[in-house]
């Protein structure tokens, strides 16, 4: 075997099939000389081909166009309609048996959606009727465009809280109700535009910046703030702070003790205990889900009757009051596209849009996994976006898939999105005929319903797992939690996202480098710190980099490798071991390299040559190999500078040293 057999010669070598016999794992007989394989360049591609491949991986990782291949034009039209409107996919096979299941589940979630809709609207500082409007139109839109069979659409606590807190910081509903409504509807419109744009442009990876750790802390902090805000209703306080931080809320509670109503406190906590008890029963025995599903509406009916009967003896109990009858009035003329508060509406829309989109897709995929079907994330973004855009024009605020209602929908036996249509029909009947019945509905029951719904968002077990597995994730979680409690909801979320981005930057700018050793009797080289069987190879320092080499980390990697070399030389001197002659850099995990990285590799080679040390690269990936070749960096390594594996590099260089005088 010639000395230069490890060089990059041409593209033909990519057709070579490498077969490693079992005997290769054992030390060869002294007379046997093993083949040193060539390191090959990847297949040649034009810049346009590379760009096309890269864009397809970014925007079309699921290859959505494969089903259109080799189809007639009529079939392509049908497939196109099914892609845009999933109802055309499952609609033709819809049966009466499926409809019976959807009716039961639709009526069940309606019993939960009606009281929750009223409650969440108050959480967003909106009139209660807006919550019912938002439970009527958006589910109809989603049933046509959505790809989930079990997602129950409507207002949710997190989006309601964020919208209410952000708009209230600038505009008070009590002082400027019309402007407040305009901002709420406009924020909903921009949330829908943002969500639909992500789906149309296939930019769903944007919402991935909200990590699991961030959401755990965010939801827990929001749940605590929401629960504390409901003390206003449970205690009967009429003058309460509009701020969402822990200290102002608790200060308002204790400074308004003169407004506390003992009748409200007694009845409120009784119904709260009942709702929490039914929730606990349904958690322990999932087959009894209908108990917690029916409990909110039942509690609303019972508390309304009770307050109506006690209206003369307990006039201090706060009630909802008059709610107008009729379906959603148009609100297109209320969209706010000019004025000093437009930036606030856009910011509120984007933040609530991201949060509601994250929750909706996560819930949809959760229940799809239980039934072994797929939910298309981009279709969901477009469906949720278009339903919010339509909702903003029909007096609705931000809606998405609710976990609590979707869980009830799933357990009630929903088969298709028709359950959302049934729920909308039940809400429609309520809007047309039953609104006067809610006049004496007490505010304390709405507060109890909200607390019961959000208390499940406090997932302390997930926080414990974060602490056990990843401390930085736990820091992001804690920052999100305390940021919401003591600063504000948007700032708490921003801080948590900042910590998550810092974690990404830390991994990019300070990648892991390790020293490898040989496991005796094999061609395997592994981390010396992890494997006790691994031992150093005399005269060799074998290093591995576990990340791409970019401008952001190239300087650090150069300094770190030189430090490894210095420490190895000190170790050799202290132990009288064989002197260091060669540094091998295992590039198996280096998925990419840029020009700064290439310059770093060349600079390292120069600096090591000045120390009379040989510098060798092992197993660079295809993309890395191509860039090294085009930059002419490989020519500087000359012979015996590039190998297919660390094992071959050690064997070939060792044999070369033996042949030299």
Specify the pLDDT at position 190. 97
Region of 534 please: left (phi>0), alpha (psi -120 to 50) or beta: beta
Give mean pLDDT, residues 169-175.
87
| Helices and strands (H, E) in the chain, number of each type | 25, 9
Q: Note the pLDDT tens digit of each residue in 277-293.
A: 998 888 888 888 888 88
What pLDDT sits at residue 610?
A: 92
- The better pLDDT of the pair 167, 3 is held by 167
Radius of gyration of the chain (CA): 32
Percent of the chain with pLDDT over 70: 93
Written as six digits, the tokens of 441 are 């509905």
Question: 373 — phi, psi (to 5°)?
Answer: -135, 165
Separation between Cα atoms, residue 139 and residue 405, nearest integer Å: 12
Residue 450 in contact with residue 160, Cβ under 8 Å? no
What pLDDT band is residue 170 in, cutting at 50, 70 and 90? confident
**So what's the pLDDT on residue 515?**
93
Tell me the C-alpha distance between 549 and 525, whole Å.
Answer: 21
- Range ranked top by mean pLDDT from 249-263, 324-338, 354-368, 443-457: 324-338
Nearest Cα neighbor of 620 from 610, 607, 633, 611 is 633
Residue 562 pLDDT level (bands cut at 50, 70, 90): very high
Q: Is the pLDDT of residue 49 over 50?
A: yes
In which band, very low, low, confident or very high, does the pLDDT at 507 lie, cut at 50, 70 and 90?
confident
Position 26 pLDDT exceeds 70: no
Q: What distance in Å separates the CA atoms of residue 164 and residue 182, rounded to the nearest whole number?
A: 13
pLDDT, position 158: 86
Specify which of 101-115, 152-166, 417-431, 502-516 reaches the highest per-range mean pLDDT.
Answer: 417-431
Residue 58 has what pLDDT? 67
The answer to whether 155 and 115 have CB atoms below 8 angstroms apart is: no
Asked whether the beta carbons of 191 and 350 are under 8 A apart, the reply is yes
Closest CA to 385 of 203, 215, 513: 203
Does the pLDDT of residue 330 top 60, yes or no?
yes
pLDDT at site 80:
80
Token digits for 488?
């504000």
Helix orientation angle between 96-123 and 157-168, rounded to the nearest 10 degrees: 30
Contact 516, 527 (CB under 8 A): yes
Q: Does residue 412 contact residue 290 with C-beta atoms inside 8 Å?
A: yes
Average pLDDT estimate for 21-35: 50
583 CA to centre of own chain: 41
**CA–CA dist 604, 562 (Å, integer):** 8
Q: How far apart are CA 381 and CA 79, in angstroms?
A: 19
User: Rounded to the nearest 5 degrees, what angle is found at the Cα of 639, between the Cα atoms of 637 and 645?
Assistant: 85
- Residue entry with tokens 């015996």: 640
Taking residues 56-79, report their average pLDDT.
Answer: 75
3-state secondary structure 27-75: CCCCCCCCCCCCCCCCCCCCHHHHHHHHHHHHHCCCCCCHHHCCCCHHH
Distance, CA of 41 to CA of 625 (rounded, Å): 6
User: Which residue has tokens 């960096």?
Assistant: 633
Q: Are 557 and 549 in contact (CB under 8 A)?
A: yes
**Nearest alpha-carbon partner for 553 in 583, 512, 508:** 508
| Distance set, CA 532 to CA 3, 318, 518, 522 (Å) | 34, 71, 10, 14
Phi, psi dihedrals of residue 606, rounded to the nearest 5°: -60, -45
pLDDT band at 564 (very low <50, low <70, confident <90, very high): very high
What is the model's pLDDT at position 33? 54
Task: pLDDT band for 661, please (50, 70, 90 cuts).
Answer: low
Could you report the per-residue pLDDT of 593-637, keeping only the tens digit for each? 999 999 999 999 999 999 999 999 999 988 888 888 888 888 777
Name the pLDDT band for 468 (thresholds 50, 70, 90): very high
| Per-residue model confidence (pLDDT) at position 17 | 39
At residue 20, the pLDDT reads 41
Closest CA to 373 of 149, 67, 145, 80: 149
pLDDT band at 62; cut points 50, 70, 90: low
Mean pLDDT of the chain: 85
pLDDT of residue 63: 67
Range 212-228 average pLDDT: 85
- Distance CA(229)–CA(258), nearest Å, equals 18
C-alpha dihedral (468, 471, 472, 477), degrees to nearest 10: 60
- Has residue 539 got a pLDDT over 90? yes
What's this model's pTM, rounded to 2 decimal places? 0.78
The more confident residue out of 630 and 11 is 630
C-alpha 28/C-alpha 22 separation (Å) is 11
556-561: average pLDDT: 94
pLDDT score, position 19: 40
pLDDT at residue 182 is higher than 70: yes
What is the helix (H) or strand (E) element at residue 483, kind and residue range?
Answer: helix 471-486
Lowest mean pLDDT among 99-108, 180-189, 250-259, 582-591: 250-259
Instruction: State yes or no: pLDDT of 528 exceeds 60.
Output: yes
The yes-or-no verdict on residue 40 having pLDDT over 80 is: no
Q: What digits encode the pLDDT tens for the residues 92-132?
A: 888 888 899 999 999 989 988 899 899 899 889 999 999 99
Tokens of 207: 């919402």
| Domains in the chain: boundaries | 95-319+330-503, 511-659
Give the pLDDT of residue 16. Answer: 35
Does the pLDDT of residue 378 top 50, yes or no? yes
pLDDT tens column, 251-261? 888 888 888 88
- CA separation, residue 373 to residues 94, 367, 378, 587 (Å): 17, 9, 15, 39
The CATH architecture of the domain made up of 511-659 is 2-Layer Sandwich (3.30)
């Amino acid at each position: 075997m010639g000395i230069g057999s490890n060089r990059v010669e041409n593209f033909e070598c990519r057709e070579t099939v490498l077969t490693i016999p079992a005997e290769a794992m054992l030390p060869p007989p002294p007379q046997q000389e093993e083949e040193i394989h060539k390191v090959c360049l990847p297949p040649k591609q034009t810049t346009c081909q590379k760009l096309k491949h890269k864009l397809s991986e970014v925007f079309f990782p699921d290859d959505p166009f494969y089903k259109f291949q080799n189809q007639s034009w009529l079939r392509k039209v049908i497939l196109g309609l099914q892609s845009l409107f999933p109802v055309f996919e499952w609609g033709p096979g819809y049966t009466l048996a499926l409809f019976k299941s959807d009716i039961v589940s639709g009526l069940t979630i309606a019993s939960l959606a009606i009281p929750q809709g009223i409650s969440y609207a108050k959480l967003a500082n909106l009139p209660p009727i807006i919550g019912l409007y938002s439970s009527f139109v958006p589910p109809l839109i989603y049933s046509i465009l959505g790809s989930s069979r079990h997602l129950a659409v409507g207002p949710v606590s997190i989006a309601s809280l964020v919208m209410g807190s952000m708009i209230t910081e600038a505009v008070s509903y009590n002082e400027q109700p019309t402007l407040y409504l305009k901002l709420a509807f406009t924020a909903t419109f921009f949330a829908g535009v943002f969500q639909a744009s992500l789906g149309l442009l296939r930019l769903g990876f944007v919402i991935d910046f909200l990590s699991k750790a961030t959401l755990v802390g965010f939801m827990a902090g929001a749940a605590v703030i929401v629960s504390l805000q409901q003390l206003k209703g449970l205690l009967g306080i009429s003058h309460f702070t509009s701020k969402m931080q822990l200290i102002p809320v608790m200060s308002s509670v204790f400074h308004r003790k003169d407004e506390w109503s003992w009748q409200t406190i007694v009845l409120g906590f009784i119904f709260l205990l009942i709702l929490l008890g039914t929730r606990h029963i349904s958690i322990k025995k999932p087959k009894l889900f209908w108990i917690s599903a029916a409990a909110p509406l039942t509690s609303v009916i019972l508390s309304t009757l009770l307050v109506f009967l006690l209206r003369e003896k307990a006039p201090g109990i706060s009630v909802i009051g008059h709610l107008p009858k009729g379906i959603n009035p148009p609100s297109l003329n209320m969209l706010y596209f000019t004025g000093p508060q437009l930036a606030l509406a856009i910011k509120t829309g984007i933040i609530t849009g991201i949060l509601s989109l994250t929750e909706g897709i996560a819930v949809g995929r959760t229940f799809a996994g239980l039934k072994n079907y797929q939910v298309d994330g981009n279709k969901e973004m477009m469906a949720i976006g278009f339903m919010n855009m339509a909702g903003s024009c029909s007096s609705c605020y931000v809606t998405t898939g609710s976990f609590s209602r979707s869980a009830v929908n799933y357990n009630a036996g929903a088969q298709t999105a028709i359950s959302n249509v049934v729920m909308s029909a039940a809400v429609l009947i309520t809007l047309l005929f039953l609104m006067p019945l809610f006049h004496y509905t007490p505010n304390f029951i709405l507060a109890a319903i909200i607390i019961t719904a959000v208390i499940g968002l406090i997932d302390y077990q997930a926080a414990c797992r974060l602490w056990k597995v990843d401390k930085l994730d736990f820091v992001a979680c804690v920052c999100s939690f305390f940021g919401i409690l003591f600063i504000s909801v948007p700032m708490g979320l921003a801080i948590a996202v900042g910590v998550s981005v810092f974690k990404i930057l830390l991994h990019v700018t300070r990648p892991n480098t390790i020293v490898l050793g040989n496991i005796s009797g094999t061609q395997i080289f592994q981390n010396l710190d992890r494997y006790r069987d691994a031992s150093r190879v005399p005269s060799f320092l074998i290093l591995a980099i576990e990340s791409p080499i970019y401008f952001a980390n190239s300087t650090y990697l150069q300094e770190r490798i030189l430090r490894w070399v210095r420490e190895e030389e000190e170790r050799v001197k202290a132990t009288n071991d064989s002197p260091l002659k060669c540094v091998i850099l295992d590039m198996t995990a280096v998925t990419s390299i840029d020009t700064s990285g290439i310059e770093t590799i060349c600079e390292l080679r120069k600096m090591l040559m000045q120390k009379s040390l040989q510098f060798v690269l092992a197993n660079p990936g295809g993309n890395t190999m191509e860039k090294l070749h085009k930059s002419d960096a490989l020519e500087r390594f000359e012979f015996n500078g590039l190998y297919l594996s660390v094992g071959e590099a050690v064997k070939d260089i060792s044999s070369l040293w033996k042949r030299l005088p």
